[in-house]
Structure 1
Amino acid sequence: MTQSRCDRCGASGPAHDFVSAGTDGTWRVLCSRCFNTEMAQFADMQGFEHPSFTPLRLRDVDNSDHEFHFRSLLLGDQLSLEAFELAGDDEAAGYRFQILGKADSKPFALLGQLIQTMKRALSMKHLQAEAGRLQIADMTVRGRVEWNGDEGASQPCVIIDGRRIEWNDLGAMLLAFEGWQFRLEMLDPSDEA
């Protein structure tokens, strides 16, 4: 697991719990606790306590387990709670969820809402294997657009049902709907798809 070190407190930990933060052209790596402390000071919030949650396993509609890690970030007047799966080397991959609440929200209430969103998403399947190939299971596909990891690439990849799908592979799946109309709607990561 990739480790990072906080430029403010010196603590080290898993990279997914760190933020690159910049002010006045100076960038620092901060643990989420120090980031939240600085944001609370900046927003003049008294008594803000950094919420921290242990990883959680949830099962999807195919009975596969998914382990989610959590990160909370104070973003001015909002508290962001994120849940994500990790791939090798501490890289976020697979399912990713976010919920936003007011900065003074009760963290466990937000966590409960986030877990309900996660359970709803894990109960749906948008892709199915047919003759050894992935196909769109129904008329709706929900997912997330991601960078494909290639510095020179002009195409993204997408994450559908928690799995990475290359752009060309998604195009091949769409060929089954040749001549049909479609609607592409982009949603904020904190909106439920």
Structure 2
Amino acid sequence: MSQDRCEQCAQPTAAYDAIHYGSVEGGYRLLCTQCFNAEVARRHGVTDFENVRLEPIRMVDCAGDAHQFHFQMRLLGTMLALDAFEIQDGFRAGYEFRIIGKPEDDVLTLLGRLVEKMRRTLAVKDLAINGSQFQIRDQTVRGLISSDPAGSGDIPVVVVDGREIGWDDFGRMLAAFEGWQFRLELRDLADDV
């Protein structure tokens, strides 16, 4: 796993914990999450922000598969984003979750709400295996739009049941529903789907 160094504290920083902070006019600095939060708190005059680093947790989905989730808490001015995500090859991959709160919110309360959201999602599988191929289990499929770091960048990848699926493979899954109608509703990562 490649690591850069935070330009504030000089500590090694994994790619999933690095934030490019700044502006076009003033330039950007690579900061770890802790230094980023401290900088945002200072700029916005937030004096009582609890800059907590949360340890990873392991959860099991309804199929019995284990998932290890890492956390990132980012102060974004008047709101707080708490993310949970899996890591593959040093980068975010698989399941991702987010909850939004306020800087003064209790971190453990936000964490409890996020874990409950994670449990609800892990309790359902939208894909089924048919031979060696995946198919949509029922008429509903929920996922995350992502990108393939090895790809050209202009073709999306979807993450369903924590599994990255190429656009062509996802299209083949949809082909089973030829002649059906659909409604595509895009929601923020912090929303429940």
Letter in 1 for 2:112: G
**Match of 1:187?**
187
Unpaired runs of at least 5, structure 2: none
**Match of 1:62?**
63
Letter in 2 for 1:62: A
5 Å-filtered alignment, 1:1-193, equals: 1-23=1-23, 24-88=25-89, 90-150=90-150, 152-193=152-193
Letter in 2 for 1:178: E
Contact kept? 2:48, 2:104, Cα under 8 Å: no
TM-score w.r.t. structure 1 length? Answer: 0.95
Unpaired runs of at least 5, structure 1: none
Q: Report the Cα distance in structure 2 between the residues aligned to 1:188 and 1:92, rounded to whole angstroms.
A: 17
Deviations 1:51-106 (A, max 9, x none): 11100000001100000000100001011100000002x11100000110011111
Deviations 1:126-145 (A, max 9, x none): 00001221100011100011
Q: Identical aligned pairs, as a percentage?
A: 42
Deviations 1:100-131 (A, max 9, x none): 00111111100000000001100010000012
Letter in 2 for 1:79: L
Letter in 1 for 2:21: A
* Corresponding residue SS for 2:155: coil
* Corresponding residue SS for 1:109: helix
Q: Report the Cα distance in structure 2 between the residues aligned to 1:111 and 1:58, rounded to whole angstroms.
A: 14
* Corresponding residue SS for 2:83: strand
C-alpha distance 105-153 of structure 1, shift in aligned 2 (>3 A) = closer
Q: Report the Cα distance in structure 1 between the residues aligned to 2:16 and 2:114, rounded to whole angstroms.
A: 18
RMSD between aligned residues: 1.2
* Corresponding residue SS for 1:177: coil
Q: Report the Cα distance in structure 1 between the residues aligned to 2:46 and 2:114, rounded to whole angstroms.
A: 24
Moved over 6 A (4+): none
Shift of 1:173: 0.6
Letter in 1 for 2:42: Q
Shift of 1:8: 1.0
* Corresponding residue SS for 1:51: coil
Q: Report the Cα distance in structure 2 between the residues aligned to 1:25 and 1:45, rounded to whole angstroms.
A: 23
